[in-house]
Structure 1
Amino acid sequence: YSARQQQFIYPPVYSSIELAESSAIVFLSTYQNSAQLSGMGYAYGNVIIAPQFSSIQMINQRPDAFVAGKRMNDKILYGLLDFSGNIIIPFRYDTVSNTDYRYNINFIAVAKNGRWGVIDKTGNLVRPLRYSRDDTEKWLTQRGARPRFGD
């Protein structure tokens, strides 16, 4: 609701509207058949992606993308979407997470069946899915200003 304009920015059909860190984006939630669905929009009122995902959030390495969860065969799988809702990384991972190198937009940590690896920004696996969550030092090591993959 905009007090200055005395009107709703978004119609009162959402169960929640949360301001993202960027403050230009809001996350929209609604319920359908007792399942929460999430989408996103601009803070000034335009819906970018209608609520249709189990979850949606920003990822630090990709200011141009969002992690979304989608229910598939009684399991939630995660992928990446662009600002238009186009799929960048297909919904195939149990987890998509920020790496410790937040400045680096080229690499994203992913997990499937309890094993972790790293993908690049196009979805290519650049570190195999063979590490435990505790082996984060093996995912990426930093040499100077450029991140490098370690073993």
Structure 2
Amino acid sequence: MNKHTRLVVSVLFIVIIVLAVAITRFYSNSAKSTDTGDTYPVIEEKLDTDNEGNRIFRGGPELYGVIDLRERVIVSPEWQKLSFAGKNTCIASKRIRGKNLFGCIDYEGNIIVPFVYSSISPVKAGGQTFYSANTFDKNTIVLYDENFIPCLSGTWTGLNASRNELLLTSDNGSYTFSAGEHGLTFKEARLKGSCMNFPYELKVTSRVLLSKLSVSMLEQMASGVSRYIEYAYTGNSKVLAGMNTDKSSVFLTIFPEEHSITSAKLMGISDLFVYSAKSAGENPRYAVSVTADTSISYKENGKSRRLRDKYKAVVEFELFPSGEFKAVSGSFIQDKPDYPAPEPSTSGAAPDSTAERN
């Protein structure tokens, strides 16, 4: 082999090595792209674009994903529905156990909101964006902020948004929040219920009180008053079992020391009012006053008499350092009724008489 031939062979050998390296790198990069999701599937239709130029695309029969500016896949096309919601976040839908469920994912495939909802929709109020998520099984609503962090712990039966307010409803009442750049501010609470078949409403509009009381605390107060009033008139201590109470809590029936009273019957309740109560310790206390329309039967000089009047009761609640909110006392302000003046004793008087106070 002469010198020229050896040179040609050497050049060909180098070319073959370079081609082999190039081919190896090509297949290596292809495999790597397949592993990381940087594949280039068929893009049948390009849809919405976010602020960074990423686009939702339809890549198969009703399956959607997201590509970036260079058309690299950053969310694989495996979702039945996709919509942009905030930075690097999508509301997504997938069929799970025979149900079309909604949740939220980020561009790295992490689940931000669990897939337990029948729908997730944006809600605008006060220049802010919130998200209303409807639970699939219970048909209730969970409210999320723009970062998909739950707002106002609990679930709701309804949500209405106006220009600057959100009105949330539950089985126990309605709650109005003003929306702004600092989030949600509790503006008004209206709780409704029934005690011994008599309806009542508890309305709170004090911004000072609402800044300290949560929806769950207010619902405990409204329910606690109803249970206490039932106990005060029936003496059935079992109704108190549904209240969160402290071991030192004290609840008194209506006029427990008036032994001349033979019965006290509730005729209606009204004027429920929440206020801050004095506390002997450091724990804050709150109270609910309620006016009870009452028909009382009592004995006077061996005769049965009746009177009807309105009496105010107060139920106090305490917020403990552990976060527990408990009912600690319940009693009527008066210790006895305002009895009418005794009737003069006359012969031949009727055995029964009635006095009514309105």
Identify the residue that residue 77 of structure 1 maps to in structure 2.
Answer: 101
1:56 to 82, 89, 97: 82
**Paired residue secondary structure (1:130):** coil
CA gap 1:126/1:17 in 2 versus in 1, 3 angstroms:
same
Deviation at 1:23, TM superposition (A): 5.8
The whole-number CA distance in structure 2 between the counterparts of 1:143 and 1:104 is 7
Letter paired with 2:133 = V
**Paired residue secondary structure (1:27):** strand
State whether residues 69 and 78 of structure 1, in contact with CA within 8 Å, keep that contact through their aligned partners in structure 2: yes
Identify the residue that residue 242 of structure 2 maps to in structure 1.
Answer: none
**Paired residue secondary structure (1:84):** coil
Pairs aligned (count): 135
State which drifts further: 49-58 or 73-82: 73-82
CA RMSD of aligned residues (A): 2.9
Provide the identity percentage.
Answer: 19
2:140 matches 1:115: yes
State whether residues 119 and 127 of structure 1, in contact with CA within 8 Å, keep that contact through their aligned partners in structure 2: no
More helix by proportion, 1 or 2? Answer: 2
State whether residues 179 and 185 of structure 2, in contact with CA within 8 Å, keep that contact through their aligned partners in structure 1: no
Q: Deviations over 1:1-28 (max 9, x none)?
A: xxxxxxxxx9571221224142611112
Give matches, 1:19-98, under 5 Å.
Answer: 19-22=48-51, 24-31=53-60, 35-59=61-85, 62-98=86-122
Deviation at 1:95, TM superposition (A): 1.2
More strand by proportion, 1 or 2? Answer: 1
CA gap 1:70/1:125 in 2 versus in 1, 3 angstroms:
farther
Letter paired with 1:108 = Y
Identify the residue that residue 14 of structure 1 maps to in structure 2.
Answer: 43
TM-score using structure 2 length: 0.33
CA gap 1:39/1:102 in 2 versus in 1, 3 angstroms:
farther
Letter paired with 2:80 = S
